[in-house]
Structure 1
Amino acid sequence: MSSPSSLEDIHGVVQALRRITKAIHEFSKAVDREFGITGPQLWAMRTINELGGCSAGDLAARLCVHPSTVTGVIQRLEEKRLIDRQKRAEDRRAVVLTLTPNGKKLLERAPHPAQGQLVAALQGMAPDDVHKLREMLVQIVDSMELGNVSARFFFSEEE
């Protein structure tokens, strides 16, 4: 049987989680105030731009969400005329998402999204460490009985 975790280690973990969530929350509020879009919308735009256009499925995979979740983000960005859906020349059934000129202008001024920084930090870690971290976080979620909590994006009403 393992010994109980030290109070210092518990404090360190709680503080790290607070820093991560606070940074993402503050970022999301600032982006909304300055640019009129949510953090997830900015992250989606940045991802579409980095990929030079992509499908909704590719976007969902990059944002670490279910494809149905990204649908609302895409619709809102289209309504704001920041992205377009275009049919692929080689397959007229397939649709590619691209930034509009207004979307590109906004992106030139906008910061890099905090949620994207979290994903990049995880991608920079050793795969075994990410796997262990995932297992430990799932254990915490299970212990707190949070398995049924829907959490698509941090601090966003995006669906």
Structure 2
Amino acid sequence: MRRPDDKPAVLANRRGDPGEEGQDLHEDGGSEESHGPVVEVGASTPESRRLHELMIEFSRYRSLKNPLAGICEDLQLTPTQMHALSWLGNDGPVQVGVLALRVGITRKTITGVVDRLESMGLVERTRDVEDRRAVVVRLTEQGDSVFARIDRGLDESLRRVLDLMTPEDRDAVFGILERMLAKLTAEAQSDEGNSQAS
């Protein structure tokens, strides 16, 4: 798998990444030593910057994204539309507002996305049986077929990533993700319990 030649191997200090001597550079070009330590609430860390950069580098390899990009091109879908179809395929029918949260766009924007998918025959709107004021979006039979194709493309991309790992690395990745998910689930349950108690 060849890395694209159109991008540099290392990104230059765009977000205050460590300079050549390992010092954090400030906006005025000086180093931390000349200004003293700067502590910001919610500031990035070396680890978060490193993870971000690694994710960007992975995203440069077209071979890891080609199945999904090909599906978008073949079906004339935007990435946002494909994202919406994926959530509907995985979660089943959901209210429009919930779908907007899942996709990470505004309610106003999701309306246009759903309009377009509906005109393509991939989704349909219905009323929520529990709340007649709410609109629910569901995949049509044709939408189910497109979702199955998206799911196969995603699986192909993930298999390519897993093929880069040793069995031990795979086990480590699965263990890390499962522990993170367990913590997120516990935090969500705790937050829900606290909100009900208040």
TM-score (normalised: structure 2) = 0.47
Choose the corresponding residue for 1:4, options 7, 23, 26.
23
> Which consecutive unaligned segments of at least 5 residues does structure 2 have?
1-17, 25-46, 159-176, 182-198
Give distance in 1, aligned partners of 2:118 and 2:70: 21
> 2:144 is paired with a residue of what secondary structure?
helix
- The change in CA–CA distance for 1:64 and 1:22 in structure 2 (over 3 A counts) is farther
* Partner in structure 2 of residue 130 of structure 1: none
Deviation at 1:31, TM superposition (A): 2.1
Deviation at 1:110, TM superposition (A): 2.2
Alignment coverage as a number of residue pairs: 117
Deviation at 1:49, TM superposition (A): 2.1
1:3-152 to structure 2, matched below 5 A, reads 3-4=22-23, 14=53, 16-20=55-59, 26=66, 29-111=69-151, 124=177, 126=180
Contact 2:86 2:151 in 1 (8 A): no
Deviation at 1:99, TM superposition (A): 0.5
> 1:59 is paired with a residue of what secondary structure?
helix
> 2:138 is paired with a residue of what secondary structure?
strand
**Rg larger in structure:** 2
Give distance in 1, aligned partners of 2:153 and 2:96: 19
Q: Structure 1 segments of 4 or more deviating over 3 A?
A: 9-16, 21-29, 111-114, 124-127
Deviation at 1:29, TM superposition (A): 3.5
Deviation at 1:76, TM superposition (A): 0.8
Contact 2:72 2:82 in 1 (8 A): no
Deviation at 1:25, TM superposition (A): 7.0
Contact 2:121 2:140 in 1 (8 A): yes
- The change in CA–CA distance for 1:63 and 1:27 in structure 2 (over 3 A counts) is farther
Could you list the per-position Cα deviations for residues 117-144 of structure 1 after superposition, in whole angstroms to 9, with x for gaps in the alignment?
Answer: 9xxxxxx4859xxxxxxxxxxxxxxxxx
Amino-acid identity (%): 24
> Which consecutive unaligned segments of at least 5 residues does structure 1 have?
118-123, 128-159
Amino acid at match of 2:76: G
Deviation at 1:14, TM superposition (A): 4.4
> 2:147 is paired with a residue of what secondary structure?
helix
* Partner in structure 1 of residue 172 of structure 2: none
Q: Which has the higher contact order (CA 8 A, sep 6+)?
A: 1
Contact 2:68 2:150 in 1 (8 A): no
